Amino acid sequence: MLFRSWQVAAESQVGYRVDEVLFGQNVTAVGRTNTVTGEVVVEGIQVVSASFEVDMTTITSDEPKRDAQFTSRIMDTLNFPTSTFVLDTPITLTAGVGTQPTTHAARGTLTLRGTSKPVDVTVVSTLRNGQVAVVGEIEIVFADWGIPNPSIPGISTEDRGILEFNLVLRR
């Protein structure tokens, strides 16, 4: 049986995207980090385990005031410095996995701000130069995760945002 362990590479990124109205103007707030660690284990034609951890204290946007709100009031990174995802159900890889983008359904447990919930996510993987790129996104309704709405006077946001990831995996 073929067994391979893939590690998250430094080029990986995890972040958020939230639509907001900033003093009457529609904008999209985006924050990112590449302080991501983790491993994917493949046995034969199945991804049998996957786990990832993100250092939430390192997520930054283009706006220092937004970052201050993110790390304190919104995500409380002093008390919840990391977020995690752990695959709950193996993923069977299809014969088409390779250099063409391949879509897979994944089910796992996501932990944000100390709240853990099962999530279903569609991921797209592509094999390039001996590495695997895995991209996807998960819609996060803030109240479901105990995350305070980011709105403050002069800035209103939706009640949800998108968690985005672009993981690069190496053996």
pLDDT, average across residues 121-150: 95
Which one has a higher pLDDT value, 93 or 135? 135
pLDDT per residue as tens digits for the range 108-119: 999 999 999 999
pLDDT, average across residues 35-64: 96
Q: How many CB atoms lie within 10 A of CB 1?
A: 6
Lowest mean pLDDT across 4-13, 25-34, 89-98, 128-137 = 89-98
pLDDT per residue as tens digits for the range 58-109: 999 999 999 999 999 999 999 999 999 999 999 998 765 667 899 999 999 9
Report the 3 state secondary structure along 83-122. EEEEECCCEECCCCCCCCCEEEEEEEEEEECCEEEEEEEE
Looking at residue 97, its pLDDT comes to 62
Residue ranges in 19-99 assigned as alpha helix (H): 64-69
Cα(40)–Cα(107) distance, integer angstroms: 14
Place of tokens 């995802």: 85
Looking at residue 99, its pLDDT comes to 74
Looking at residue 14, its pLDDT comes to 98
Looking at residue 95, its pLDDT comes to 66
Structure tokens at 11: 């080029």
pLDDT, average across residues 139-158: 94
Do 138 and 163 touch, CB atoms closer than 8 A? yes
Residue 38: closest CA among 58, 59, 52, 17 = 52
Task: Please enumerate in sequence order all residues whose Cβ is within 8 A of that of 147, keeping only pairs 6 or more positions apart, or say none.
Answer: 74, 75, 112, 113, 140
| pTM of the predicted structure, to 2 decimals | 0.94
Task: Please enumerate in sequence order all residues whose Cβ is within 8 A of that of 103, keeping only pairs 6 or more positions apart, or say none.
Answer: 122, 123, 124
Looking at residue 96, its pLDDT comes to 57
